[in-house]
Structure 1
Amino acid sequence: MVISLRTAGLAAVLAALFHPAAHAVQDCELNGQSVNPANGNTTVGKTGLMRCKDRGSGELMREQQIQNGVFMGLVRHYDKGRLVKEHSLNANGNMQGRAREFSPTGGVLREATYENGHETGLTRSFHPGGQVRRIAFYAEPGERASAEFTERGQLSALRCGDKPMLAPAVDDVRLCGFVNGPSQVELFDSKGILRSRLAYAAGKRVRSEDLYDNGKPSLQDEINGNLRTERRWSSEGVKRREVVFLLVERGAIKQREQDFSERGTLVRDQRWNAAGEAQSDESYYLNGQPRSKARYGTAGDARQLEITEFHDNGQRAALGRFLLVDRVRRVPIGTHQRFDDKGTLMAESVYDDKGRVTRERTWDADGKPERDDEMFEDGSRKAN
């Protein structure tokens, strides 16, 4: 349906006016007669090329085709007399066909194809010097694949589609691993420094590695079967963290998380089951001895946790069980014990199933009883 300037098409026409120099006052003429593009009465029924100039300088700012009073066809925008942008509009006022943007020297900066206002097919962007900057492929619902390049011509970013889409501008058959197994891709920054290594298989990224300035890995992300592993390193090349996820239909479930010291020794190791429930949590001293060990389990319908703490010489320091009320709250139950660094029992507290202490006992360094108190529900001691 053809939309005239007297209808909603006016909004689309006015939108075309907003380019870098749109704030300047313009005088427009069509076939030698003065017209006002914001006033449909001045262009109704007319056909030709409208030309608009800056009132102050007289420089050409815009050219636009009108067909029988409708802004339809070629549109060109100028800056200081130089062409900076051109495209075409359809009868609905939407961009249709080829669109290009230009540098001050006349080189093409961007070229794309539109279908009723939507980018479609290959879109190319260029550096000011003419080198390819970005290649992208568009199809509903939007961008599907892309590749970016530095002025040196080195690949700097890559997004693969579910099938090859960037040919003949980019060989994404090879880069995205659609043939001959997983691909090996390197990404560079504007200075020519290697920043990332990627691997794709059938368009899906299966491995990525980001690098520090010194070339050592900083972050690694790898998929192997239904497991995804993330690893992080310090700039000195020491691994500081490793996290493993189980890939499921709706996302990923954490299975294991390890933290390492600045020297690379393991300081914490957490594990979860396939349902995402915590299974264990272990921590370690820098000398390698265990600091604590937590084990999760189920008793009836209740989740429980047993925690063992250690001295840095490896001797047990404390032992106790807890009832897990929710993700935050835990209630002590059963017998809790504390030991000295020689492994000698020093104190013991007994809790009921509601977390209330019912008995407390202590011993001296020689193992002789010091105190044995039974407790009321409010924590006060019973008389001996």
Structure 2
Amino acid sequence: MSSHRALTAILAALISVNAHAIQRCELNGESVSRSNGNTTAGKSGLMRCTDEDGQVRRLDQTLRDGRYVGPVVMVLADGERREYSINERGNRDGVARTFDGKGTLRKEENLEDGTAVGVQKNFAEAGHLQELRFALVRRTVLTIGYLADGTLSELRCAPVTLVPQDRDVCGHGGRASEVTLYREAGRPSGTLSYLKGQMQRQTVLDREGRLVRSEELKEGRRIKRVYYASGQPRSETDFIERDPNSVEGREGTAREWAESGQLTQMSTWAGGYEQHIEQWYLNGQRKARQQLRREGRNQERTTESFWDNGKPAAVNQERNGRLWGWQRYFNEDGVLQREEEHGERGLLLRRKRYDARGTLEREERFLEDGSRI
């Protein structure tokens, strides 16, 4: 649905709520009706509609040969005023502005056939520029947020300079920028450094000023860390920085820690897939070790699990998320207690049970319906 048709539907809904309201429209000194196209057919000029009791109190709309094309002014019951233009396709086109009930400019958009293009601005109630964005190919590629004193509250840069305001803060002048962001005057929310629009460093602080998150680009690797309130690291990812469109995929390591400082998990990535995963108990003993392999369209996983005393607990094989081949299970002394063989679709084929000393006690075979022989 075009933005014009959507707006028309909203207006119709708002007006229908006030069924008792009477909308009066005039075009070139003649009384016309927005709901009766015959009254405006083939006519051009500025049609002005008023409704003292409706949600839309005033609507000035330009007609060209009976079609709604050109400037529009809309005034709502709370005094909000919207100014924009409609093109031949019925979509908003050109500069669109919104003013609040006090007459303060609150939003200024640049539109092409209903789509935001180029500079977009939002203003605070006090009138200062609050947010500047740049839209390109239906995406926002630059965002700069401001407080009343001109300090920055938000910053997301593009690879090239797009507006005069981004040149220094995004590092397009030849040197890396050093920017402090604020959640309110005098209260920093973090820091940023950009070089040619690429983030070099970042810190994020909570309301108490404690470090929550950090990020840095170092020797071609992007390192991201998350912290506990105590300042201890909680997680870290260390990956090679690649072009988002690269087919090589993710490569590097990811780590997680308990607040005590104990490493609890480490994952290794290559070619865009996890290759190796290790986990630890809080007492420092190894909890699990996984090896992942890809063969064609199949993904195979071998998982070694351990008791918290360091003894083996299980060895499992999976293919595409289902148990496959022989699975082995051990007691807390590390003695083999059970083996199970799984076939296609993870179906159980055979089971072997062992006594406390690891001696075979019983062996069973299973049919597709789960019955034993």
- TM-score for both structures, normalised by structure 1: 0.72
Could you tell which deviates more after superposition, 272-281 or 128-137?
Answer: 272-281
1:159, distance to aligned residue in structure 2 (A) = 2.6
The equivalent of 2:33 in structure 1 is 36
Query: In the alignment, is residue 234 of structure 1 matched against residue 228 of structure 2?
Result: yes
2:8 to 3, 8, 15: 15
Q: Deviations over 1:24-66 (max 9, x none)?
A: 5310112322111232221234333222122559x96122233
Q: Deviations over 1:190-224 (max 9, x none)?
A: 46532232332322334433222221221234444
Q: Distance in 1 between matches of 2:299 and 2:53?
A: 81
1:291 to 286, 295, 298: 286
Query: What does 1:219-258 align with in structure 2 at a 5 Å threshold?
Result: 219-224=213-218, 227-246=221-240, 249-250=246-247, 252-253=249-250, 255-258=252-255
Query: What does 1:367-378 align with in structure 2 at a 5 Å threshold?
Result: 372-373=359-360, 375-377=362-364
Whichever residue aligns with residue 286 of structure 2, its letter is: R
Q: Distance in 2 between matches of 1:209 and 1:19?
A: 48
Whichever residue aligns with residue 275 of structure 2, its letter is: A
**Which structure: larger Rg?**
1
Counterpart contact for 2:43–2:64, Cα < 8 Å: yes
Relative to structure 1, the CA distance from residue 180 to residue 264 in structure 2 (aligned partners, 3 Å threshold; closer, same or farther) is: farther
1:361, distance to aligned residue in structure 2 (A) = 6.7
The equivalent of 1:133 in structure 2 is 130
SS of the residue 2:127 aligns to:
coil
RMSD, matched Cα: 4.1
Can you give the 5+ residue segments of structure 1 that lack an aligned partner in the other structure? 1-8, 341-345, 364-370, 380-384
Relative to structure 1, the CA distance from residue 120 to residue 378 in structure 2 (aligned partners, 3 Å threshold; closer, same or farther) is: closer
Relative to structure 1, the CA distance from residue 275 to residue 21 in structure 2 (aligned partners, 3 Å threshold; closer, same or farther) is: closer
2:169 to 175, 184, 194: 175
1:70 to 46, 67, 70: 67
Query: What does 1:146-161 align with in structure 2 at a 5 Å threshold?
Result: 146-161=143-158
Q: Deviations over 1:115-146 (max 9, x none)?
A: 34333332222111111011122343343322
1:280, distance to aligned residue in structure 2 (A) = 4.5
Q: Distance in 1 between matches of 2:117 and 2:278?
A: 51
Counterpart contact for 1:27–1:54, Cα < 8 Å: yes
- Percent sequence identity over matched residues? 24
Relative to structure 1, the CA distance from residue 251 to residue 51 in structure 2 (aligned partners, 3 Å threshold; closer, same or farther) is: farther
Relative to structure 1, the CA distance from residue 220 to residue 22 in structure 2 (aligned partners, 3 Å threshold; closer, same or farther) is: farther
Query: What does 1:93-242 align with in structure 2 at a 5 Å threshold?
Result: 93-167=90-164, 170=165, 172-190=166-184, 192-224=186-218, 227-242=221-236
Q: Distance in 1 between matches of 2:272 and 2:59?
A: 62
Whichever residue aligns with residue 216 of structure 1, its letter is: R
Whichever residue aligns with residue 106 of structure 1, its letter is: G
Relative to structure 1, the CA distance from residue 373 to residue 201 in structure 2 (aligned partners, 3 Å threshold; closer, same or farther) is: same
Q: Distance in 1 between matches of 2:340 and 2:117?
A: 69
The equivalent of 1:261 in structure 2 is 258
Relative to structure 1, the CA distance from residue 101 to residue 290 in structure 2 (aligned partners, 3 Å threshold; closer, same or farther) is: same
Q: Distance in 2 between matches of 1:180 and 1:85?
A: 41
Can you give the 5+ residue segments of structure 2 that lack an aligned partner in the other structure? 343-348, 367-373
Counterpart contact for 2:330–2:336, Cα < 8 Å: yes
The equivalent of 1:49 in structure 2 is 46
Q: How many residues align?
A: 347
Q: Distance in 1 between matches of 2:362 and 2:262?
A: 44
Counterpart contact for 1:13–1:71, Cα < 8 Å: no
Counterpart contact for 1:185–1:198, Cα < 8 Å: yes
Q: Distance in 2 between matches of 1:99 and 1:157?
A: 24
Could you tell which deviates more after superposition, 11-20 or 261-270?
Answer: 11-20
1:187, distance to aligned residue in structure 2 (A) = 2.4
Relative to structure 1, the CA distance from residue 159 to residue 63 in structure 2 (aligned partners, 3 Å threshold; closer, same or farther) is: same
Counterpart contact for 1:47–1:69, Cα < 8 Å: yes
Q: Distance in 2 between matches of 1:64 and 1:231?
A: 54
Counterpart contact for 1:110–1:125, Cα < 8 Å: yes
